[in-house]
Copies of this chain bind each other. A is one copy, B any other.
Amino acid sequence: MDIHPGAAHPTVADTGEVIAWVAKELRSRGERMTGPRTAVLTALGEHPGHLTVEDVVEAVAAVDSSVHRSSVYRALEALCELGVVQHIHLSHGTTAYHLSSIRGPHPHAQCVRCGVVQDLPADLLDDVAARLVADQRFTLDATHVALSGLCAACAENWPSSPETPIIANHVH
Protein backbone atom coordinates (compact mmCIF):
# COMPACT_ATOMS: atom_id res chain seq x y z
CA MET A 1 0.00 0.00 0.00
CA ASP A 2 2.48 2.55 -1.18
CA ILE A 3 2.66 6.03 -2.53
CA HIS A 4 -0.43 7.42 -0.92
CA PRO A 5 -1.05 11.08 -1.31
CA GLY A 6 -0.79 13.04 1.90
CA ALA A 7 -4.42 14.08 1.64
CA ALA A 8 -7.03 11.73 0.22
CA HIS A 9 -8.73 12.45 -3.05
CA PRO A 10 -12.23 13.73 -2.87
CA THR A 11 -14.19 10.51 -2.84
CA VAL A 12 -14.83 9.19 -6.29
CA ALA A 13 -18.46 8.82 -7.22
CA ASP A 14 -19.88 5.52 -6.00
CA THR A 15 -17.76 2.69 -7.34
CA GLY A 16 -20.87 0.75 -8.25
CA GLU A 17 -21.87 3.47 -10.66
CA VAL A 18 -18.44 3.48 -12.20
CA ILE A 19 -18.57 -0.25 -12.69
CA ALA A 20 -21.97 -0.03 -14.32
CA TRP A 21 -20.83 2.70 -16.64
CA VAL A 22 -17.71 0.75 -17.59
CA ALA A 23 -19.75 -2.40 -18.21
CA LYS A 24 -22.02 -0.55 -20.57
CA GLU A 25 -19.14 1.13 -22.34
CA LEU A 26 -17.26 -2.13 -22.74
CA ARG A 27 -20.29 -3.94 -24.11
CA SER A 28 -20.88 -1.20 -26.60
CA ARG A 29 -17.41 -1.92 -27.94
CA GLY A 30 -17.94 -5.64 -28.15
CA GLU A 31 -15.78 -6.15 -25.08
CA ARG A 32 -16.84 -7.63 -21.76
CA MET A 33 -17.12 -6.76 -18.12
CA THR A 34 -15.39 -9.48 -16.19
CA GLY A 35 -14.37 -10.53 -12.71
CA PRO A 36 -10.83 -9.18 -12.85
CA ARG A 37 -11.95 -5.86 -14.29
CA THR A 38 -14.59 -5.46 -11.63
CA ALA A 39 -12.06 -6.36 -8.98
CA VAL A 40 -9.56 -3.81 -10.26
CA LEU A 41 -12.17 -1.04 -10.30
CA THR A 42 -13.33 -1.98 -6.83
CA ALA A 43 -9.78 -2.07 -5.54
CA LEU A 44 -8.98 1.32 -7.05
CA GLY A 45 -12.20 2.71 -5.63
CA GLU A 46 -11.23 1.55 -2.17
CA HIS A 47 -7.81 3.18 -2.39
CA PRO A 48 -8.17 6.75 -3.56
CA GLY A 49 -4.43 7.33 -3.77
CA HIS A 50 -1.89 6.56 -6.47
CA LEU A 51 -1.12 2.87 -6.61
CA THR A 52 1.77 1.03 -8.20
CA VAL A 53 0.98 -2.18 -10.05
CA GLU A 54 2.20 -4.01 -6.99
CA ASP A 55 -0.28 -2.10 -4.83
CA VAL A 56 -3.08 -2.84 -7.21
CA VAL A 57 -2.25 -6.53 -7.25
CA GLU A 58 -2.34 -6.52 -3.48
CA ALA A 59 -5.58 -4.58 -3.26
CA VAL A 60 -7.20 -6.76 -5.90
CA ALA A 61 -6.18 -9.90 -4.04
CA ALA A 62 -8.08 -8.59 -1.03
CA VAL A 63 -11.18 -8.17 -3.16
CA ASP A 64 -10.99 -11.37 -5.20
CA SER A 65 -8.08 -13.68 -4.55
CA SER A 66 -8.73 -15.72 -7.68
CA VAL A 67 -7.58 -12.89 -9.91
CA HIS A 68 -4.21 -13.60 -11.43
CA ARG A 69 -1.37 -11.14 -11.53
CA SER A 70 -1.26 -11.04 -15.29
CA SER A 71 -4.96 -10.28 -15.43
CA VAL A 72 -4.34 -7.21 -13.33
CA TYR A 73 -1.88 -5.99 -15.94
CA ARG A 74 -4.35 -6.71 -18.70
CA ALA A 75 -7.28 -5.18 -16.88
CA LEU A 76 -5.34 -2.02 -16.12
CA GLU A 77 -4.39 -1.71 -19.75
CA ALA A 78 -7.97 -2.15 -20.89
CA LEU A 79 -9.34 0.30 -18.33
CA CYS A 80 -6.71 2.89 -19.17
CA GLU A 81 -7.68 2.63 -22.80
CA LEU A 82 -11.27 3.26 -21.78
CA GLY A 83 -10.20 6.31 -19.85
CA VAL A 84 -11.68 5.35 -16.47
CA VAL A 85 -8.25 4.61 -15.13
CA GLN A 86 -5.26 6.87 -15.58
CA HIS A 87 -1.60 6.36 -14.97
CA ILE A 88 1.25 8.67 -14.15
CA HIS A 89 4.95 8.04 -14.42
CA LEU A 90 7.02 8.49 -11.31
CA SER A 91 10.75 8.64 -10.80
CA HIS A 92 12.45 5.35 -10.68
CA GLY A 93 10.54 3.79 -13.47
CA THR A 94 7.40 3.09 -11.51
CA THR A 95 3.94 3.82 -12.79
CA ALA A 96 1.01 4.69 -10.56
CA TYR A 97 -2.63 4.06 -11.38
CA HIS A 98 -5.78 5.75 -10.15
CA LEU A 99 -9.42 6.13 -11.10
CA SER A 100 -10.06 9.17 -13.22
CA SER A 101 -11.54 11.19 -10.44
CA ILE A 102 -14.23 13.81 -10.65
CA ARG A 103 -11.41 16.30 -10.16
CA GLY A 104 -10.37 15.90 -13.73
CA PRO A 105 -6.77 15.92 -14.94
CA HIS A 106 -4.17 17.59 -12.79
CA PRO A 107 -0.40 17.47 -12.28
CA HIS A 108 1.28 15.50 -9.52
CA ALA A 109 4.41 15.82 -7.45
CA GLN A 110 6.41 13.02 -5.95
CA CYS A 111 8.85 13.25 -3.09
CA VAL A 112 12.18 11.70 -4.04
CA ARG A 113 12.82 10.86 -0.46
CA CYS A 114 9.68 9.17 0.82
CA GLY A 115 7.94 8.54 -2.47
CA VAL A 116 4.61 10.10 -1.54
CA VAL A 117 2.63 11.48 -4.46
CA GLN A 118 0.49 14.56 -4.05
CA ASP A 119 -2.05 16.19 -6.30
CA LEU A 120 -1.36 19.69 -7.56
CA PRO A 121 -3.66 22.47 -8.76
CA ALA A 122 -4.79 21.92 -12.34
CA ASP A 123 -3.58 25.32 -13.50
CA LEU A 124 -0.12 25.10 -11.94
CA LEU A 125 1.69 24.59 -15.22
CA ASP A 126 -0.48 26.68 -17.51
CA ASP A 127 2.05 29.48 -17.85
CA VAL A 128 4.88 27.03 -18.43
CA ALA A 129 2.81 25.24 -21.04
CA ALA A 130 2.12 28.52 -22.81
CA ARG A 131 5.79 29.43 -22.76
CA LEU A 132 6.78 26.01 -24.09
CA VAL A 133 4.41 26.25 -27.02
CA ALA A 134 5.49 29.77 -27.83
CA ASP A 135 9.24 29.27 -27.49
CA GLN A 136 9.82 25.60 -28.33
CA ARG A 137 6.57 24.63 -29.99
CA PHE A 138 6.39 21.83 -27.43
CA THR A 139 2.89 20.82 -26.32
CA LEU A 140 3.07 20.01 -22.63
CA ASP A 141 1.06 17.20 -21.05
CA ALA A 142 1.32 18.23 -17.45
CA THR A 143 -0.54 15.26 -16.02
CA HIS A 144 1.50 12.45 -17.45
CA VAL A 145 4.66 12.68 -15.40
CA ALA A 146 4.98 13.60 -11.75
CA LEU A 147 7.20 16.51 -10.83
CA SER A 148 10.02 15.54 -8.53
CA GLY A 149 11.23 17.16 -5.37
CA LEU A 150 11.10 17.12 -1.59
CA CYS A 151 7.85 17.09 0.35
CA ALA A 152 7.39 19.31 3.39
CA ALA A 153 7.84 16.55 5.93
CA CYS A 154 11.03 15.26 4.37
CA ALA A 155 12.49 18.72 3.84
CA GLU A 156 12.15 19.35 7.58
CA ASN A 157 13.82 16.15 8.63
CA TRP A 158 16.50 16.36 6.01
CA PRO A 159 19.03 14.85 5.99
CA SER A 160 17.82 12.37 8.56
CA SER A 161 15.89 9.26 7.64
CA PRO A 162 12.80 9.53 5.47
CA GLU A 163 9.41 10.24 6.94
CA THR A 164 7.75 6.86 6.49
CA PRO A 165 10.15 5.22 4.07
CA ILE A 166 7.33 4.08 1.84
CA ILE A 167 8.95 3.58 -1.47
CA ALA A 168 12.04 1.72 -2.46
CA ASN A 169 14.03 4.71 -3.54
CA HIS A 170 17.59 5.79 -3.67
CA VAL A 171 18.01 9.42 -3.09
CA HIS A 172 19.59 10.95 -6.13
Contacts and interface: CB of A to CB of B under 8 A. Distances in A.
Given A125-B128, A136-B120, A155-B139, A148 B145 contact: yes
Given A112-B144, A136-B152, A149-B141, A172 B87 contact: yes
Contacts of A109: 132, 136, 138, 140
A12 B78 CA distance: 45
A39 interface: no
Instruction: Count this chain's copies in the assembly.
Output: 2
A136 B155 contact: no
Contacts of A80: 172
Closest 7 CB pairs of A and B: A93-B93, A137-B152, A139-B150, A144-B148, A140-B149, A145-B148, A141-B149
A91 interface: yes
Query: Per DSSP, are chain A's interface residues mostly helix, strand or loop, or mixed?
Result: mixed
Given A91-B145, A112-B144, A144-B91, A152 B128 contact: no
A92 interface: yes
A46 to B, nearest CB: 24
Interface residues of A, number: 39
Interface string A134-172: 011111111011111111100100000000000000001
A139 B149 CA distance: 5
Interface in A69-104: 80, 87, 89, 91-95
A24 interface: no
A54 to B, nearest CB: 14
A86 to B, nearest CB: 9
